[in-house]
Amino acid sequence: MNTFVDKTQEEAIILLELKDSYDEIDISGISTITGTSAHIIDIIESNDFIGISSQSLTLIDVTVDTAIINYFNSHGLIINN
């Protein structure tokens, strides 16, 4: 079963929880994802999510390594301050 997330902002952990109920989750309508870098990487690397390409990210990690920032930037994602 597939679903479309019809929100402009969502928490990464909530999106990951949707994997338990749906085969494919379209997140193309989300403009901002908030969460830890690890949770957001899980979303990017999962085959369960489609439409992640230009979202803004609000990271809640205490510190974020430059390599992680470069990883997100390489996927066309924007990190909010």
Query: What is the per-residue pLDDT across 54-80, written as a single tens digit (0 to 9) for each?
Result: 899 999 999 999 999 999 999 999 998
Question: Torsion angle of alpha carbons 67, 68, 71, 76, nearest 10°?
Answer: -130
Mean pLDDT computed over 26-34: 96
- Residue 52: pLDDT band (50, 70, 90) is very high
Query: What pLDDT is stored for residue 54 in this prediction?
Result: 86
Q: Full-prediction pTM beyond 0.85?
A: yes
Nearest Cα to 29, choosing from 49, 4, 12?
A: 4
CA distance linking residue 41 with residue 45, whole number of Å: 6
